[in-house]
Amino acid sequence: MLRLIIILNIPVNVRWAQNGVTVAGGHGEGNATNQLYSPQGLFVDDDQTIVIADFSNHRIIQWKIGDTNGQVVAGGNGQGDRLDQFDRPTDVLIDKETESLIICDRWNRRVVRWSRRSGTTQGEILIDNIDCWGLAMDNQRYLYISDCKRHEVRRYQIGDKNGTLVAGGNGKGTRLNELNAPTYIFVDQQQTVYVSDNEKNRVMKWDKDAKEGIVIAGGEDEGNALIQLSHPAGLFVDTLGTVYVADSWNHRVMCWPKGAKQGTVIVGRNGQGAEANQYNIPVGLF
């Protein structure tokens, strides 16, 4: 069964509101259901429900539009390696076909599936012994996982433990066939893989079956100029090939049109902070 992935076509000249609206958390750092603690990757369902990897709370929490409090839907039983626990999860997605969450349980070095059906009390391990960070799923239900210690991205059929190399895999480095601590990933309808190459401060594009990638954003050493990124994280690519990336350590979100030599800051021009027009190390982007 094919999954329909809808990728937006965002006009190049779109104007972005500079003040954001808080839709989850916003009540300080903590573990109450109206709080988050170092949230990382996120996924937005068709009904606008937001599912968040609540990193330092070792849980997955979801927020429906307009809710004051979130609902813990996986984990939440303290830090640990039991099947009802996580150790600092970094990413999450929804697999519609099985109505389940797929979760990157980073410091347990495993990828876990957790049913969204009521009454589920623990997950099942899909892949272990992997230094996973980011997840993506294509329209044929192939699962893509970044490994930040092996400096690679692999594609898996559900149930496959070994996967197929699709990006990196040639050790840590700066060459076009190498990655340096890849984190978040995005896959388009052509199975092109886009990678936030975190420690190299660049975003790379790897076409299907390519032996090396191309740099499409950053790559000019770490910095805050418009040609630079600082520890890029979550990313999204629209149908025009425009890349949107959470430029984490610069506390901003940038847009890089296809073929552009420099990006544009679309939100977060006001430094690090907690105001409606500021970010504090943004990570997830969807």
Q: Kindly report, residue by residue over 27-44, the tens digit of the pLDDT.
A: 999 999 999 999 999 999
Does 238 reside within a domain? no
Determine the pLDDT at residue 147. 98
**Quick check: is 153 in a domain?**
yes
The answer to whether 164 and 153 have CB atoms below 8 angstroms apart is: no
Q: Is residue 285 part of a domain?
A: no
Percent of the chain at pLDDT above 70? 97
What is the Cα–Cα distance from 238 to 277, expressed in whole angstroms?
24
User: How far, in Å, CA of 87 to CA of 106, rounded?
Assistant: 7
pLDDT tens profile 206-232: 999 999 999 999 998 999 999 999 999
Residue 68 structure tokens: 């004051």
pLDDT tens, residue by residue, 103-143? 999 999 999 999 999 889 999 999 999 999 999 999 999 99
Q: Flag whether 220 is in a domain.
A: no
- Provide the number of structural domains found in the chain: 1
pLDDT value for 7 = 58
* In a domain? residue 21: no
Spatial CA neighbour of 90 closest among 103, 72, 73, 76: 103
What rounded mean pLDDT belongs to the chain? Answer: 94
pLDDT at 2 over 60: no
8 has a pLDDT exceeding 80: no
Question: What pLDDT, in 10s, does the model give residues 138-184?
Answer: 999 999 999 999 999 999 999 899 999 999 999 999 999 999 999 99
Indicate which CATH number applies to the domain containing 47. 2.120.10.30
Indicate whether 246 belongs to any domain: no
Q: DSSP character for 56?
A: G
Torsion 17-20-21-23 (CA) sign: positive
* Residue pair 270/28 in contact by the 8 Å Cβ criterion: no
* pLDDT tens column, 254-280: 999 999 999 999 999 899 999 999 999
Q: Which range of residues forms the domain containing residue 81? A: 39-213
pLDDT at 24 over 70: yes
Query: From the centroid of its chain, how far is CA 42?
Result: 7
- Residue 225 within any structural domain of the chain: no
CA torsion, points 18, 245, 272, 67, in degrees to nearest 10?
60
Cα–Cα distance for residue pair 201/228, rounded to 1 Å: 7
